Amino acid sequence: MEESLEYERVELLSEVRKRDNCQIISEKMAKTFSIRRQEVVNQAPKINDLKERWPALFDAVQINQEFRMITTVNLETTFMAKLDQYSQKITSLLSSRGGAAKMRIQRIQNMLLEDDSVERRREVAIRGLVVYLREKEEDLFKEQDGGGDITNEVMKIVTRGAITSDPASARIILEGTEVLADLDVPRACALLMGLIYALNLSYPKELKNTFEVFQKIFLELDDLKSSPKVMSLKSKLLY
């Protein structure tokens, strides 16, 4: 059994180099799900090694499918639907913050002056949420023009600057390796959650509240075990 699944894995390596064969890749990824999970959970390989062995796992379509197989939840559609549902409430909550947080929130909200697209409104809600939770934007996002150094970034969403005419400018970095690019920030956040589940990664301690909101409010996973801070936020968003 294991030998035949390893054969499927090797076949996958050649399939990902071909065009227009998403269906075959999806079938082989589904077939090899069990050995991949064993490998990821039991061996905790480095990201670079996983990229070599399972390159399809770093494709947005496959991240969504892997997440659904692990959790039964539709990753991007659920995340965006809940983010849109709560964005207005998040915006009104932000107005209650004073001091230095108020200045940071104002800067974030000014992003809408140049671009009032759905993607930008979602991004503003996420960035504002990080500040509202008393965590730091720069622990999740790194603004970088051109090809700066990313080798020391353990888990980061790199953008080309907070205000840019191109919303699809975000890249996901894991263990100093770029794993996805050409994303808008909200999609990068959703797919980062998918990667965390698919690769069995831990949330960064300095962003535990933000990622708990992503998990328990936006994706509704284990939401009955929320921390007091996240439970408080959820009650404010619902009423």
pLDDT, tens digit, 9 for 90 and up, residues 164-181: 556 668 999 999 999 999
pLDDT, tens digit, 9 for 90 and up, residues 37-68: 999 999 999 999 999 999 999 999 999 999 99
pLDDT, tens digit, 9 for 90 and up, residues 112-167: 888 889 999 999 999 999 999 999 999 999 988 766 788 899 999 999 765 555 66
- pLDDT for the residue 124: 94
Q: What percent of the chain has pLDDT over 90?
A: 69
Structure-model confidence comparison of residues 197 and 108, the more confident one: 197
Assess whether pLDDT exceeds 90 at residue 100. Answer: no
- pLDDT for the residue 146: 63
- Residue 36's nearest CA partner among 5, 74, 1, 3 is 5
- Residue 214's nearest CA partner among 142, 122, 98, 144 is 122
Assess whether pLDDT exceeds 70 at residue 32. Answer: yes
- pLDDT for the residue 1: 67
Taking each helix axis from N to C end, the angle separating 60-71 and 75-94, rounded to the nearest 10 degrees, works out to 90
Residue identified by tokens 């619902």 is 238
Structure-model confidence comparison of residues 3 and 192, the more confident one: 192
Is residue 217 within 8 A of residue 84, CB to CB? The reply is: no
Cα separation, 145 vs 15, in Å, equals: 34
Residue identified by tokens 């499927």 is 8
* b/e burial code for range 49-68 (CB count within 10 A of at least 16 → b): ebbeebbbbbbbebbbbbbe
Is residue 93 within 8 A of residue 129, CB to CB? The reply is: no
Assess whether pLDDT exceeds 60 at residue 25. Answer: yes
Give the 3-state secondary structure of the chain.
CHHHHHHHHHHHHHHCCCCCCHHHHHHHHHHCHHHHHHHHHHHCCCHHHHHHHCHHHHCHHHHHHHHHHHHCCCHHHHHHHHHHHHHHHHHHHHCCCCHHHHHHHHHHHCHHHHCCCHHHHHHHHHHHHHHHCCCCHHHHEEECCCCCCCCCCCEEEEECCCCCCCCCCEEEEECCEEEEEEECHHHHHHHHHHHHHHCCCCCCHHHHHHHHHHHHHHCCCCHHHCCHHHHHHHHHHHC
- pLDDT for the residue 184: 94
Q: How confident is the model at residue 20 (pLDDT cuts 50, 70, 90)?
A: confident
* Torsion 29-30-31-35 (CA) sign: positive
One-letter amino acid for residue 9 of the chain: R
Is residue 175 within 8 A of residue 185, CB to CB? The reply is: no
- pLDDT for the residue 168: 61
Where are the chain's structural domains?
2-71, 75-238
pLDDT, tens digit, 9 for 90 and up, residues 65-79: 999 999 999 999 999
